[in-house]
Amino acid sequence: MNKTVEVLPDKEALIQRSLEIILSQMQAAIQKRGQCTIALAGGGTPKPLYEAIATQDLPWDKIHVFWGDERYVPADHPDSNQKMARHAWLDKVDIPATNIHPMSTDGESPSADAQKHDDHLREFFKVAVGEFPHFDIILLGIGDDAHTASLFPHTDALQMTDRLVTVGNKDGQPRITFTAPLINHAHCVMFLVSGASKQPALAQIFAPEADAMTYPARLIKPQGELWWLLDEAAGQELKK
């Protein structure tokens, strides 16, 4: 694991730096593998990043977009991560519809939809059961409780070691989420963290020892590059 931590002056600088890294990663992936696979994060922090990506002149036919997690709501629901990314980015560029790979949230059950997406990823990446694909880029955030994607403290999703996708649980509300092992097989994982409210969680995530079941972001230790991009409000204690 190649870990880099950067504390940027403000959120605007955070977004600009993350855009630079993502564009570099996209270019490298397309040169090496002919395409780039990126999994998006939800929440408010990455929205301006997606808006910035939408202004770029990129080979959209070579970029495949996924999501690291999704709330179990219809695709047109205000809380949908897919809806946010489409509005901020995907609806504004000429990307083929077949290059967009949302998580299903309208099937028989969350577990059935999680399995459906698990199957889709295996088919797309051509990996067998027991193997893990390698995403080029996975974007993540953290919550004030140190969760990431929909891997929440002391939930069953944290124990999944042989699945690509599983059901997360947020106060009794189901979500679909990548598993920690899938995230950890990525070529590049990038955390975008903004705001002073994240300081206590970051202190535990970066502590020499702490319980990963209580602070799930500690589970993320990718084989490739790991970037932590923080604004000053979130990362000021880490600079000391």
Question: What average pLDDT does the chain have?
Answer: 96
Contact 183, 133 (CB under 8 A): no
Residue 50's pLDDT band, with cuts at 50, 70 and 90, is: very high
Residue 22's pLDDT band, with cuts at 50, 70 and 90, is: very high
Angle among Cα 47, 64, 216 to the nearest 5 degrees reads 60
pLDDT at 7: 97
Which residue, 132, 136, 121, 134, is CA-closest to 190? 136
Strand blocks (E) in 114-216: 137-140, 165-170, 173-178, 188-193
pLDDT at 239: 76
pLDDT at 202: 98
pLDDT at 238: 86
pLDDT in tens, 62-118: 999 999 999 999 999 999 999 999 999 999 999 999 999 999 999 889 999 999 999
pLDDT at 107: 87
Q: How would you write 187-214 as a 3-class SS string?
A: CEEEEEECCHHHHHHHHHHCCCCCCCCC
Residue 133's pLDDT band, with cuts at 50, 70 and 90, is: very high
pLDDT at 97: 98
Global pTM value = 0.97
pLDDT at 41: 98
pLDDT in tens, 137-165: 999 999 999 999 999 999 999 999 999 99
Return d(Cα 54, Cα 149) in angstroms, integer.
23
pLDDT at 48: 97
